[in-house]
């Protein structure tokens, strides 16, 4: 059975492994990048969809037509209201009114053709918009999940970080120094004895004498990776 010092050192190892895991999970945290890319593609597709382009053209044409109608009414009011009396001014107004009416007729003709073009495109545009709304919800959901996970990881990191110095103080300085040296060199300072014969850190088959020392609860290291070995009966 492992000594008390080794059990405390193993707890320190678990804390350090937990800190590494938290950092790795935080770095790989899914912030919805894939969902955001899909959303951007759908936004572009909706923006450039023929229905939307045609509908925008229709709106512009209707606004332009209203402006033309207002001008026609204004000029006809001047023409028939007695404010214009000279033949030259009358001729100019009549010419302008005719030009505006031709412009209005062309716009009306285009608007009529749009009434035939828009309906077949509407279903496709609606489907694109439905996908767009679904993508927006997916992005919002991914962000919410990422925020929740980040909060959870931050809490765990703070808890482990707070526990580490307290645990480290309970370990003999020489043993702690050896552990820290290996940890800085290898990333982790301890390894479990797997199946009573293998180093869980590097996978090396352990010599019999090393296994016996580990099983006796003595401080012994893997000769290959130098990690301090930890053996507990009944575990891996």
What's the pLDDT at 32? 78
Q: Give the model confidence (pLDDT) of 97-154 as tens digits.
A: 999 999 999 999 999 999 999 999 999 999 999 999 999 999 999 889 999 999 999 9
Give percent of the chain above pLDDT 90.
81
Q: What residues in the chain have per-residue pLDDT under 50?
A: 235-236
What's the pLDDT at 236? 39
Angle, helix 87-169 to helix 4-27, in steps of 10 degrees: 170
Instruction: Give long-range contacts, CB 8 A cutoff, 24+ apart: 61-68.
Output: 61/107, 61/110, 61/111, 61/114, 62/111, 64/107, 65/104, 65/107, 65/108, 65/111, 68/100, 68/103, 68/104, 68/107
Closest CA to 195 of 219, 214, 223: 214
What's the pLDDT at 232? 83
What's the pLDDT at 1? 64
Strand order in the sheet with 228-230: 198-199, 190-194, 228-230
Q: Give the Cα separation of 40 and 21 in Å (integer).
A: 32
**CB proximity list for 20: less than 8 A, separation 6 or greater:** 187, 188
């Amino acid at each position: 059975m492992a000594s008390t010092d080794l059990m405390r050192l193993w707890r320190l190892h678990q804390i350090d492994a937990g800190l590494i895991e938290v950092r790795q999970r935080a770095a790989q945290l899914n912030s919805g990048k894939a969902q955001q890319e899909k959303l951007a593609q759908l936004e572009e597709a909706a923006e450039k969809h023929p229905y939307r382009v045609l509908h925008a053209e229709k709106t512009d044409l209707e606004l332009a037509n209203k402006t033309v109608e207002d001008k026609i009414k204004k000029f006809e009011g001047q023409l028939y209201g007695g404010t214009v009396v000279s033949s030259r001014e009358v001729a100019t107004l009549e010419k302008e009114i005719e030009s505006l009416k031709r412009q209005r007729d062309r716009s009306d003709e285009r608007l009529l053709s749009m009434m035939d073009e828009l309906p077949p495109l509407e279903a496709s545009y609606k489907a694109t918009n439905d996908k767009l709304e679904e993508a927006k919800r997916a992005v919002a959901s991914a962000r919410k999940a990422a925020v929740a996970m980040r909060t959870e990881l931050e809490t765990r990191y703070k808890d482990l970080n707070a526990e580490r110095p307290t645990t480290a103080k309970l370990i003999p300085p020489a043993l702690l120094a050896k552990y820290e040296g290996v940890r800085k060199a290898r990333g982790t300072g301890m390894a479990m004895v797997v199946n009573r014969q293998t180093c869980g850190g590097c996978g090396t088959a352990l010599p019999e004498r090393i296994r016996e020392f580990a099983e006796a609860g003595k401080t012994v290291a893997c000769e290959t990776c130098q990690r301090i070995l930890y053996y507990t009966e009944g575990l891996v």
